[in-house]
Structure 1
């Protein structure tokens, strides 16, 4: 009987295990996670769960009994210390060994850290700690106008905290959306009372706040750092797998070893739609990548070419983003962006490469179809319909 092992008990890993069973795999499935919590989804941790709008039970991928009911050997609080490709086994933190026939690495990413006393947001425990601290803190200083940084800022404001955000880029979300749309998010936060400091970095984090690169000192009751995440590629690199910005895979999510696969935040697969490798850290990539990797492990024909997708909720702004803006040369709007109810398209060479719908719903499929089509669009038509 074959044994399939999944390292990383997050959304990608849990969905891979589910897919293996749904596709009829009757061998042993071992799902190993370093956290003590069963697999859960991360988006609520910086959104509704952080703001106390969602119950804890709703964050989990499966009910607690699902794993036993589906013969998935879920091992929590267990770190993998080594992958031995030649012997087809992993070594665990308790000294035991687990053989495998096929292996999926779905170890995700970890927050990039700065020296000094600060809070981070990645795990459910992190979210619960922040929620508790927001209830008593008068002021919060956030390093990084990233998605996590801005969602955390919105939650802190909802809790009644005074919020300052420090960001070395010229505006919010500059790399993710470009300056024009990043500035829209910045203005939203300013209207909500957030003090935004752009073009300056946190040179030092202390017990009482932050010293900026300009020399100015800002005081706060707590500091939260949201400056991005780094993929957990250590196991793969040490094992001798090909690694770039993530674990390199082909379009079937197969690594440089034919029996080892990677999915989710940690993977950097070749993306047929973009003709290059693309590492995506968003929720939908884990949701879709885990099942795709499972089918690939089963020997099915898999081409993982999902259009990158992301969503956020900040104050009264809800949005969905599809695609990748790299190399864009033009922006086209449908609707007035100042009304916070519009669609925006990023174009390159007259073709749509990304789109974002803000407080405008049921258009994601249309936007993604435009991205997939690769056709040169009529901008007047584009500005009047998705």
Structure 2
């Protein structure tokens, strides 16, 4: 990929640009009227698309062209250059596109192209109705995909959450830190769901599934029939099991309600103890420090997130948090919580008006177990995300699938994976028979530092570090023997995209 100079952002594409200015897989930035546009060359073809990712507004000019897609450097959303449609989550909306004309050795960007209409589906090949249990990333993505693929039947999302689908990753990041507008959180407006004829039933818990009769039972006693079913029940936080864990100031952070309750307590909180130094614990610590709260983190081991990122990046995160005033208590457990303090296994006692437990989650598989579905440390699915019951699919935190990149069955608890699985499950409900082959991706944010991670490494025998973690510019590659399992990058967004593309291109493990 090549990028032009900043001055080129003022280029008027309607006046034309020399074809020689655009290298193959190259990106030029310019304007069409008052809109920022990218001109991309792929072989002998030229494409003009909007310059900003529709997820969090990432600059696509700093991204990567892979095949006929352009990929965002921030969170790896991908868009088709031909029609602007979303190729990879986490983006929900496609890109605006323009027609490109070549004449006299120059490229001219002309009128905007109309959005692609959904395809027509044969009603004989699709379920009479679709029900989705879970209103998180996978469930929301599946419902939207069904409509974008042309499905016209009834779609109902049953969610135990009191709020319509929202941007869960934001809860432990900018929203908790007070730097995100609450209006950013809903993934879609009520009007959108109404227009798309997607019935979102919040605060409704499904208590039983009968795959034989294709029915489900609700906690209120009602029974519903489905044509196809997606289980996307997500995960629930693990609670502390120690004296004092039930006190009102001991909290977890999973739902919007959890986050709002936590924020409400900050008005009277000066000191917080975070139990656990994983994703949620450390992101919450950063957000609370941004609000000026004194934060102590209690953790087992000596390096935060060492099981996921290794010692070098764990040490980098520890030093980053310490530079912002976070105090770590390593090789420690919490033995007891009182109304005013936290007592540690080391003998220390920490004053605290608030305790946040971030010690992991457990997949919500009770419904699947009750229904007699195959269980394998999650809900077992095949490469099409089908469970052991006909017409029942699973996606997101609960799904354990055969990963072609590692040759293992894996389960991943990350937002982007859940969204991408929701898309594939929806397509397969419509008879597409699409294998789920996406490379797992996640990002984590701490103050102004982000780590992007592609691949999956539950265990490794070496980590190669390129660059300087202290300077927050580096890449860590995780290996088992000669097999590259995953790559984590800091300050190297383009390298992260290239790693993802390389994993996609490699021969699947048999």
Q: TM-score, with normalisation over the residues of structure 1?
A: 0.93
Partner SS for 1:47? helix
**In 1, are the aligned partners of 2:479 and 2:485 still within 8 Å (CA)?**
yes
* CA–CA distance in structure 2, aligned partners of residues 11 and 353 of structure 1: 25
The answer to which of 312-321 and 142-151 deviates more is 312-321
The aligned runs of 1:120-159 (5 Å cut-off) are 120-159=252-291
CA distance in 2, matches of 1:37, 1:62: 12
Which one of 147, 153, 159 corresponds to residue 21 of structure 1?
147
- Residue in structure 1 matching 2:375, options 219, 232, 243: 243
Matched, 1:100 2:232: no
2:286 is the counterpart of 1:160: no
State how 1:190-205 maps to structure 2 within 5 Å. 190-205=322-337
Q: How many residues get paired?
A: 375
Where does residue 69 of structure 1 map in the other structure? Answer: 195
Matched, 1:83 2:209: yes
Partner of 1:221: 353
Distance 1:262 1:203 in 2: 37
Q: Structure 1 pair 135/208, CA: closer, same or farther in 2 (3 Å)?
A: same
Provide the rounded CA distance (Å) in 2 between the counterparts of 1:261 and 1:374: 27
State the match for 1:382 in structure 2: none
Correspondence for 1:174 among 301, 306, 310: 306
SS in 2 for 1:35: coil
Gaps of 5+ in 1: 376-386
Which of 137, 142, 156 matches 1:11? Answer: 137
**2:160 aligned partner:** 34
Relative distance call for 1:285 and 1:49 in structure 2 (3 A) is same
- Alpha-carbon separation, structure 2, partners of 1:198 and 1:244: 33
Moved more, 61-70 or 90-99: 61-70
Question: 1:383: which partner in 2?
Answer: none
Work out the CA distance in 2 between the residues paired with 1:249 and 1:51: 37
Contact 1:177 1:325 in 2 (8 A): no
8 Å contact from structure 1 (residues 138, 161) kept in 2: yes
Q: Once superposed, what is the RMSD of the aligned Cα atoms?
A: 1.6
Aligned match of 2:494: 362
Residue of 260, 270, 280 corresponding to 2:412: 280
The 3-state SS of whatever aligns with 1:48 is helix
Distance 1:205 1:259 in 2: 47
CA distance in 1 between counterparts of 2:476 and 2:390 reads 41
Question: Using CA pairs below 8 Å that are at least 6 residues apart, which structure has the higher relative contact order?
Answer: 1
1:62 and 1:170 map into 2 onto residues whose CA distance is 41
CA distance in 2, matches of 1:175, 1:150: 14
TM-score scaled by length of structure 2: 0.71
Mapped to 2, the partners of 1:169 and 1:241 lie a distance apart of 37
Instruction: Write the distance in 1 (CA, Å) between the matches of 2:494 and 2:179.
Output: 24
| Paired residue secondary structure (1:274) | coil
The gaps in structure 2 that reach 5 residues or longer are 1-126
Rg larger in structure:
2
Q: In 1, distance between residues paired with 2:426 and 2:326?
A: 44
